[in-house]
Structure 1
Amino acid sequence: MMSGTIQNREAFLTKIAERLGRNRFLTNVERPKWSYHPQDAVFKDADSNELLEALKTQCTKIHTDLIETNKAELIETIRTIVSEYGGGPIVAWKDSRFEEYGLSPLFNNIWPSENTEIHQWESALGEENIKLAEKSNIGITISDITLAESGTAVLFSDKDKGRTVSFLPLKSIIIMPKSSIVPRMTQAARIIREKIKSGEHLPSCINFITGPSNSADIEMNLVVGVHGPVKAAYIVIEDL
């Protein structure tokens, strides 16, 4: 069988329909038109400041630090949180937005007194990136979409934005442009769907990350850091 092809699909689907005692639908099912859209009611009329306040409130519930800053103070803000989180080694995406936000000095070792080791994800290195991420104390990424309701960062992976950067290091720092904040999953799904409709290339892996790693047993005893970072910080940049 050739890669990327589907074999015997029609026969397979017809057989399933027969077993269910009904005919195959040979045309596309018409999307229903609902008269009420409760998924749009959450923060329906909230502006960017109100969404940020909702995000702040949620971060107190998901054990996540939230720091507000602007582009001019971003490097100093990162230096502060990195110091609070115990320094390097650090692994980060290779993302053009770092330069846009004035973070190029970050990868020229802005903590020389602490001898902080910084690795920027490089696709040519292959699995060596994963080994370096595994040894890192802090991973730095950027949120593509941010959900105010749940305090979730949506990260689009690609060849220079390894998904392990956000969960293999002990701590995670996620930079969040204020313009990326939307009410909830409803808007994120629509943004992704519109990107697909417009023909934009999207990664095969889109991660929805809500604070540090959390796990609870049947008695709801919460344990942080079982299968990911034990600490997480969101740095919200004023870009509106």
Structure 2
Amino acid sequence: MAKIGTIHNRDSFLNKISKSLNRPRLTGPIPRPEWKYQPQHEVFKGASPDELLDIMKVHCQKIHTNLYETDLKGLPDVLNEVVEGYGGGPVVISKDERFSEWGLDSLLKKEWPSRDMAVFEWDYTLGDENVRRAEQANVGITISEITLAESATVVLFSDKDHGRTINFLPATSIMLIPKSTLVPRFTQAAVKMREIHQQTGRVASCINFITGPSNSADIELNLVVGVHGPIKASYIVIHDL
């Protein structure tokens, strides 16, 4: 019995095609082309973190996303203010050591100080209960791994402790953005993702590029917000440099 996924008659099939094309079949790796012009590397080349942040601020206005700035000392107060501004919880967060490292335990590990506000931390051992909690949450809080200044896009890596639904099911999304994660655009983000893979040997189960709240203008170019994700979004940039 053949195993699932077994490829049959591959060589004879490919040999027949190469013969029909009247050229030898390629059996080795194809060399990577070296392009003479690579303009994708020139956009915002040499921009400082402050300049990249200014670029992102401009685009946040276009994507209807609020942007706040703070240092680690002021992060708990800013996060509290933003969550309260959206009407409070319930809140769902990923399981991430950086929340504790950034002094957020007083908010996220206990009841919110200003009201009875439940905070649920993603726990893969609970299975579908995580999705149910994310669906009921008013606010989802996550951390950007890489941030594209050109389009004000955050990059999120999913794994057992960072569920995708944290970003899609709550009505509001709050992204914590370390300033050190800023890169000019997708080109540099791809380079950084490759570096992360080479350093860790791991690839995220899903990589999401998220630009502000959910938007769609598929029908007669009429913009509708919140069709397949959060209705509102805020970015909190943390000055960690």
Whether the 8 Å CA contact 1:140–1:175 is kept in 2: the answer is yes
Structure 1 residue identity aligned to 2:86: Y
Equivalent residue number for residue 24 of structure 1: 25
Amino acid paired to 2:197: I
TM-score w.r.t. length of structure 2: 0.92
Q: Does 1:84 align with 2:85?
A: yes
C-alpha deviations, 1:26-69, integer Å up to 9, x for none? 11111111122100111102000000000100100011110001
For the structure 1 residues 23 and 215, does the alpha-carbon distance in structure 2 shift closer, same or farther, using more than 3 Å as the test? farther
Match in the other structure for 1:148:
149
**Alpha carbons of structure 1 residues 32 and 89: separation in structure 2 relative to 1, 3 Å:** same
Which residue pairs with 1:108 in the alignment? 109
Distance 1:135 1:111 in 2: 17
Q: 1:2 to 1:189 in 2, by over 3 A?
A: farther
Unaligned runs of at least 5 residues, structure 1: none
Partners of 1:59 and 1:16 lie apart in 2 by 54
1:129 matched residue in structure 2: 130
Where structure 2 has 5 or more consecutive residues not aligned to the other structure, the ranges are none
Give the equivalent residue in structure 2 for 1:14. 14
Following superposition, the deviation at residue 86 of structure 1 comes to 0.8
Task: Look up the SS of the partner of 1:221 in the other structure.
Answer: coil
Residue type at the aligned position of 2:7: Q
Is the 1:140–1:172 Cα contact (8 Å) retained in structure 2? yes
Q: How far did 1:205 drift?
A: 0.4
2:196 equivalent to 1:185: no
Question: Are the structure 2 counterparts of residues 118 and 37 from structure 1 closer, same or farther at C-alpha, using a change threshold of 3 Å?
Answer: same
User: 1:112 Cα deviation (Å)?
Assistant: 4.0
Q: Given that residues 140 and 174 in structure 2 are in contact (C-alpha distance below 8 angstroms), is that contact kept between their aligned partners in structure 1? A: yes
SS at match of 1:71: coil
User: Helix, strand or coil: the match of 1:172?
Assistant: strand
User: 1: CA distance between counterparts of 2:112 and 2:104?
Assistant: 13
- The one-letter amino acid of 1:167's match is F
Q: 1:8 to 1:199 in 2, by over 3 A?
A: farther
Give the Cα separation in 2 of the matches to 1:8 and 1:75.
59
Matched residue SS, 2:53: helix
Counterpart Cα distance in 1 of 2:207 and 2:48: 26
| Map of 1:235 onto structure 2 | 236
After superposition, the CA RMSD in angstroms is 2.0
- What corresponds to 1:51 in structure 2? 52
Equivalent residues of 2:96, 2:161 under 8 A apart? yes
In the TM superposition, residue 198 of structure 1 has moved relative to its aligned partner by 4.0
Aligned length: 239
User: Is the contact made by 2:94 and 2:162 (CA closer than 8 Å) also made in structure 1?
Assistant: yes
Q: Give the SS at the match of 2:95.
A: coil
- Give the C-alpha shift of residue 106 in structure 1: 2.0
Measure the CA separation in 2 of the matches of 1:189 and 1:9: 36
Task: Judge conservation of contact 1:17–1:23 (CA < 8 Å) in 2.
Answer: no
Code of the aligned partner of 1:156:
F
Q: 1:238 to 1:16 in 2, by over 3 A?
A: farther
Farther-moved stretch of structure 1 (205-214 vs 186-195): 186-195
Q: Following the alignment from structure 1 to structure 2, what is the Cα–Cα distance between the partners of residues 183 and 12?
A: 47
Mapping 1:148-167, distance limit 5 Å: 148-167=149-168
Question: In structure 1, what is the equivalent of residue 207 of structure 2?
Answer: 206
SS at match of 1:232: strand
Judge conservation of contact 2:111–2:119 (CA < 8 Å) in 1: no
